[in-house]
Every structure is written in structure tokens, then in C-alpha cells.
Amino acid sequence: MKKITVKNEKETKEIAYHLSLYLKAGDVILLEGDLGMGKTTFTKGLASGLGITRIIKSPTYTIIREYLGGRLPLYHMDVYRIDEEGAEELGLEEYFDGDGVSVIEWASLIESELPEKYISIRFEKFNMDTNMRVLSIEGNTEELEDRLSGFYQQFIKEESND
Ligand SMILES: Nc1ncnc2c1ncn2[C@@H]1O[C@H](COP(=O)(O)OP(=O)(O)O)[C@@H](O)[C@H]1O
Ligand SMILES: [Mg+2]
């Protein structure tokens, strides 16, 4: 698990922007963390790094929004309002196996529908400072961790085992 501390919204977007440069078709990113921690903000930075110019809106009500026109398509999902049964009906596998990058807010709510390989990012408050966040990042395969090593080298100051 690698940890990155960010000071504000701008830094969250910058981290996401840089991470996006390491992504390829079929990658799935799971975003965990309470409301207002920055999951949608992070996705905006990621989209910008992929060269997507459309405005990213939270898919809380639509569940899935698709953004084409960047280096890779972006499938932005927020599953807060559905359960695993509802998720089953979305046919997420087609997105995961497809030509783009999938980002899922509240992914742990649909655990049975998640793919085998993914990058997970957990957002937590750092302290009482309302804008500081700790992002805990991990790819769950060796291939992902190897691919992200350049990103880690650039941004990781602290590594932890939890
Ligand atoms: N470090 C930070 N990273 C991201 N957003 C931040 C940060 N500090 C403050 N914010 C604010 O917190 C809110 C995060 O909202 P959002 O990205 O929609 O969260 P989530 O999708 O996790 O519910 C925004 O209003 C943003 O301006
Ligand atoms: Mg959100």
C-alpha cells in the first residue's frame, strides 16, 4: 500500500492527472471513501490527464457516465445508490473488458461484481484540516504495481503495510 498526502482539491486533481498517464485499456480503478472525500474530484483530474475535455459530472443518479474523445474512453460509475443485484443488471463486465478505463466510486458496495484486477484508492481525512487527504493506492497484481512504479517514484514519500 502506498500513501500520498494531498493538501487541497488542486493536488488531488494533479495526482489523478499523473496516474492517468500510466493507464491502459481495461484498467479498473476502485475509489473508496466517505462523501466529500474527493472521489469525483479525483476522476476529474484523471479525465483531464486522458485528454477528455467535457465537464465531468457526478454520476450519482445516472450510475454510469461515458466520456469518449480522450486517449482512452472513461467510464465513470457511482454505485452508491444501487445494490449488488442492481449492479448485476448494469453488465459492468463489458465496461471492464472493454477499450477504456473504468472508475467506480463506492466500489465496495458491489463487491461481487468487481473484476479480478484493479487499482484501489482509499480517501481519508488527514487530520482536522478540512482539505488535507491521505490517498492509499494499490494495484492488486504485479503487472499493475510494476506499471505504476514510475508514478509511485514521483509521488510516494511513505510506504506502509496496512
Ligand atoms: N484535498 C481535496 N481533494 C478533493 N476535494 C477536496 C479536497 N479538499 C477539499 N475538497 C472539496 O471536497 C469536495 C469533494 O467532493 P467530491 O469530489 O464530489 O467528493 P466525493 O465524490 O468523494 O463525494 C469538493 O467540494 C472539494 O472542493
Ligand atoms: Mg462523488
Q: In angstroms, rounded to a whole number, what is the distance separating the alpha carbons of residues 151 and 22?
A: 8
Pocket test for ligand 1, best of 6, 29, 37, 125 (most atoms within 8 A of CB): 37
pLDDT digits (tens, 9 = 90+) for 122-134: 999 998 888 999 9
pLDDT digits (tens, 9 = 90+) for 30-63: 999 999 999 999 999 999 999 999 899 988 778 9
Phi-psi region of 33 (alpha: psi -120 to 50; beta: other; left: phi over 0): left
Confidence of residue 160 (pLDDT cuts 50, 70, 90): low
Phi-psi region of 122 (alpha: psi -120 to 50; beta: other; left: phi over 0): beta
Ligand 1 atom 3: residue of nearest CA = 9
Task: Write out the three cell numbers for 81.
Answer: 445508490
Ligand 1 atom 16: residue of nearest CA = 38
Count of beta carbons in the 10 Å neighbourhood of residue 111: 10
**Residue entry with cell 475509489:** 31
Q: State the ligand closest to the CA atom of 121.
A: 1
Domain parsing of the chain, residue ranges: 2-155
Task: Assign a CATH topology to domain 2-155.
Answer: Rossmann fold (3.40.50)
